[in-house]
Amino acid sequence: MLVGSQVRRVAIVGGVRIPFARGMGAYFEAGNQEMLTAAFKGVVERYRLQGERLGDVAAGAVMKHSSQWNLVRECVLGSGLAPETPGMDLQRACGTSLEAAIGIANKIALGQIDAGLAGGVDTVSDAPIVYPRSYQQLLLKSAKGRSLGEKLKPWAGLRPKHFKPVVPGTLEPRTGLSMGQSCEIMAKQWKIPREEQDRLAYESHVNAASAWSAGFYSDLVVPFLGLTRDDNVRADTSLDKLAKLKPVFDRSGSGTLTAGNSTPLTDGASAVLLASESWARARNLPVLGYLTYGKVQAVDFLKKDGLLMAPAYAVPMMLKDAGLALGDFDFYELHEAFAAQVLCTLKAWESAEFCRERLGLDRPLGALDRAKLNVVGSSLAVGHPFAATGTRIVATLAKLLATRGGTRGLISVCTAGGMGVTAIVERA
């Protein structure tokens, strides 16, 4: 059965993550499986799910060893959930865990399952390192040989270059550019000043530090390997300190993206528990909010738009589905891949030309209230383990609505490959 008797509301029970850590730091010896299992265990323990069979678990990682082909299922088996709980790996770059949440939510809404877990994990400290394809071919040719001579013959071509490891990178296959280089192009196209980028980064750190001090994250984060809070948050940063940092992606003198206004390479994992209202009530579990809409969109970044501009399209499409305007939200959680990316998107929505020519609107989408943007910090401060960011945001936004009031919040995540994943969370 693909569809049940009725479409149901999807409740966000809550989420848990481990502290996000700078790459090659606190989690240097941890891998994807250890981190994601820890996040799953955090959910199981917090919501008393030991031995519970969930309908499905969906999660993924961007940087993953080939040996982790069944990563999520292995993490489920180590989580404390019933071993009969299935697990599924998926990947949509930086939008992976938000995509996982939307997928689990759809199954709940359509009556296929009653509850499920969505999440994501990534590590740059345990990134898969392989040898060149040419070396692999030598090994395969040798393995195919039937006689000793046939097995040894390929090795006559062995050269020192074959031992040079290939480290995974974040270059776009179609352009050969890194995300930062691509975002530099966007910043120039949209004329985003360095000062505005630094201010957004500063506000992210200030908001995150204040949220940690106020205890906002205390029930959203579980300790892992001795770390109890995100180690990238800089409570003592300042606009002056940020202004002194040199551009890292364009050193020609016209670059504006620095280590301070770009997300750091990060290790971490997050998960969120979704369910039908009846399933949550039967177990006396809270309902913080509802996941109500989701949308994914891609752009032609080779000819038309910047690599990270897809949310500028996805959000208006989702608003049309929901019958809402950009100003109808109490909180805006826009993933800060780079400060410039967020500012380009906001400027696009305020542009009559962009909205008319690219979105088909007769007026600008509008300007959002910046006081409602990333009010407890976002990726620039907290960090960005690629696949883990989406469910971090879902759990954060649901708690914001539950504790600070308001009606609804908007989520936007840009991804590699010119895609964007967006969602709406409404208050319970």
Mind listing the pLDDT tens digit for each residue in 201-260?
Answer: 999 999 999 999 999 999 999 999 999 999 999 999 999 999 999 999 999 999 999 999
CA distance 95 to 310: 12
Do the Cβ atoms of 280 and 286 come closer than 8 Å? Answer: yes
CA 28 from chain centre, in angstroms, equals: 20
Q: Give the tokens for residue 181.
A: 């280089």
Q: Which of 220, 275, 266 is nearest to 57 (CA)?
A: 275
In a domain, 322, yes or no: yes
Predicted local distance difference test score (pLDDT) of residue 127: 86
Q: SS3 for 268?
A: strand
What does the pLDDT read at residue 188?
98
pLDDT score for 2:
65
In a domain, 106, yes or no: no
In a domain, 37, yes or no: no
Backbone angles phi, psi at 396, to 5 degrees: -60, -50
Please check whether residue 404 lies inside any domain of the structure: yes
Which are the catalytic amino acids?
94, 384, 414
Q: What is the pLDDT of residue 166?
A: 81
CA quadruple 409, 373, 390, 78: dihedral positive or negative? negative
CA distance 336 to 377: 9
Inside any domain, residue 379? yes
**Of 396, 348, 419, residue with least CA distance to 94:** 419
Residue 226, φ and ψ in degrees, nearest 5: 85, -10
What Å distances lie between residue 324 and 38, 77, 295, 427, CA to CA? 37, 41, 14, 15
**With a cut of 50, which residues of the chain have pLDDT below it?**
none
The DSSP output letter for 263 is P
In degrees, to the nearest 5, what angle opens at C-alpha 280 toward C-alphas 275 and 281? 150
How far is residue 257's CA from residue 194's CA, in Å, rounded to a whole number? Answer: 7
Q: Strand 10-17 to strand 289-298: parallel, antiparallel, or no bridges (unpaired)?
A: antiparallel
Tally of domains within the chain: 1
Place of tokens 């040898």: 131
Question: How many alpha carbons lie under 13 Å from residue 194 in its C-beta half-sphere?
Answer: 18
User: What type of residue is 106?
Assistant: N
List strand residue ranges (DSSP E) for 277-399, in order: 289-298, 331-334
In a domain, 364, yes or no: yes
Burial class (CB in 10 A: 0-12, 13-18, 19+), 162: middle
DSSP assignments along 344-375, one per residue: HHHHHHH-HHHHHHTT--SS------GGGBST
CA distance 288 to 397: 9
How many other β-carbons are positioned within 10 Å of the β-carbon of residue 65?
A: 16
Domain-located, residue 396: yes
CA–CA distance, 304 with 175 (Å, rounded to integer)? 14
Polymer length of the chain: 428
Give residue 4's pLDDT. Answer: 62
Q: Which CATH number do you get for residue 183?
A: 3.40.47.10
Gap between the Cα atoms of 211 and 227, Å rounded: 17
- Both structure tokens of 405: 């009031």
User: Residue 407, class by beta-carbon neighbours within 10 Å (0-12 exposed, 13-18 middle, 19+ buried)?
Assistant: exposed
Q: Is residue 232 part of a domain?
A: no
Is residue 293 a contact partner of residue 332, using CB atoms and an 8 Å limit? Answer: no
Segment (H or E) for 109: helix 96-109
* Cβ atoms of 62 and 386 closer than 8 Å: yes
Structure tokens, 408: 């609804």
Q: Print the domain residue range for 394.
A: 179-216+293-427
Q: How far apart are CA 411 and CA 315, in angstroms?
A: 9
